[in-house]
Amino acid sequence: MEEQAAIFATIATAIVLEASPFLLLGSLFAAVFELYAEPEALARRLPSSRPGQLLAGLFGGLLLPTCECGTVPLTRRLLAKGVSPRTALAFMLAAPVANPVVLAGTYVAFRGEWSMVLGRLAMVLVPAAALAWAAGEVPVRKLLRARLDASPHGDGCACGCGHEHHHGPAPRGLRAIPRLLALAGQEFLHMAGFLILGALAAAAVKTFLPQDLLFGLASSPVLAIAAMMLLAVLLSVCSEADAFVAAGFASFPMQAQVAFTAIGPMVDLKLLPLYFGVFARPLAVALVVVPAVSVFFLSLAWVWLGGGL
C-alpha cells in the first residue's frame, strides 16, 4: 500500500509540475488579453466576407490566446458590438485550443507527437466552424438571453464565471504591471485547482484502478472515447494543462486521449452555466451537443481509418 501511495504521489506531482509552466504562461496571456483587448477595435478590423469572418474567428486565438472561461463574456461583448456571430462563436470555441500556448503544451505533453497536436486542433475546428457557420446569419437578439440582449450596458459582464473582468481605461507602462500580475495570479489560482484535481484523477486511475477494468475500457473504442470525454467534462481542466492530464492515461488509446483534450475546452462543468446564463437556450444546447457529437464521431473515425486501436 505504501508503494502504491508513493507511485500515486509521484505521478500526480509530475503532471502538476510539468503542466504548471504552461498554465502560468496561459494565465499571463489571459491577463494581457483581459486588460487590453478592445471589442470595438477588434470589430473594426475584421474581414467582411463570410469565409474571412469564419477564418478570423477560428484562428483568432493565434494572436489573442485566452482560456475557455474568458471567451464566453468576451463573445457576448463582441456580439453586442456588432461582430458577426460567425466570427464570435468560432473564436469562443476554437481560441482555447487554437493558440500557441496550448498547441505548444500539447506537443510537449505528448512527447513531440504531431498527430496528437493536429488531431486535437481538427476536432475543435470542425464543430467550431460548423456551429459558427450555421448561426452566422441569426440575429444577435435571438442568440443572447433576452435580459442580456436588452441590457443598456453593453459591456457589462453578467457571465457568472467568477472572474474579475476589467472595464474602463487600462493602465500603461510600469503602472500596468501590478494589475497584470493580479489578473494573472487570479487566473492561475482559479485554474490550478482544476489541474490538481485532474492530476489526482489520472494518478488514481493509473495506480489504483483494477487493470482488468482499465483494459476493458481501453480496449473498446466506443467505451474508451466516451469515458475520456465524460472525464474531461467532469474534471474541467484548463486547456493550457489538460494535455498533460490526458497523457497520464497512457493505457488509453491516443484517440481517446485527444478526445479528452478536444471536448474539455468546449464543454465542461464550468462552461455549462456560462452557456445557459449568457446565450438563448437553443444556442446553449447546440454549444453542448454539436461539439460532443462531433468529437465522439471524429475520434471513432480516426480509430477506424487507423485500423483500430
Q: pLDDT tens, 194-225?
A: 778 878 887 887 788 776 777 778 889 999 99
The pLDDT value recorded for residue 159 is 45
Distance between CA atoms of residues 109 and 130, nearest Å: 28
Residues 6+ apart with CB under 8 A from 199: 11, 12, 13, 15, 16, 19, 244, 245, 248
Q: Taking CA 268 as the corner, what is the angle to CA 155 and CA 89, rounded to the nearest 5 degrees?
A: 45
pLDDT tens digits, residue range 72-107?
877 887 888 788 999 999 999 999 999 999 999 999
Q: At what angle do helices 114-134 and 100-109 cross, to 10 degrees?
A: 140
Enumerate the β-bridge partners of residue 144.
279
Q: Residue 184: what are its φ and ψ, rounded to 5°?
A: -65, -40
Measured in degrees and rounded to the nearest 5, phi and psi for residue 75 equal -60, -40
Residue that is written with C-alpha cell 485527444 in the block: 258
Q: How confident is the model at residue 56 (pLDDT cuts 50, 70, 90)?
A: very high
For the chain, helix, strand, coil in percent to 5 are 70, 0, 25
Read off the pTM: 0.80
Over residues 246-263, mean pLDDT: 93
**What tens digit of pLDDT does each residue of 184-196 get?**
888 788 778 777 8
List the one residue out of 32, 17, 50, 14 whose CA is nearest residue 99. Answer: 32
Q: pLDDT digits over 128-173, tens only?
A: 999 999 999 899 999 998 665 544 344 444 444 445 555 455 566 5
Say what the pLDDT of residue 81 is.
78
User: And the C-alpha cell for 101?
Assistant: 500556448
Q: What is the pLDDT of residue 284?
A: 95
Per residue in 266-308, pLDDT tens?
A: 998 888 888 998 899 999 999 999 999 999 999 999 999 875 4
Instruction: Give me the helix-helix angle, 85-94 and 50-59, nearest 10°.
Output: 20
Question: pLDDT value at position 174?
Answer: 66
pLDDT at residue number 155: 44
Distance in Å from the first CA to the final CA of the chain: 32
Over 80: is that where the pLDDT of 241 sits? yes
User: Which of 213, 194, 202, 189 shows the shortest CA–CA distance to 264?
Assistant: 194
Percent of the chain with pLDDT over 70: 85
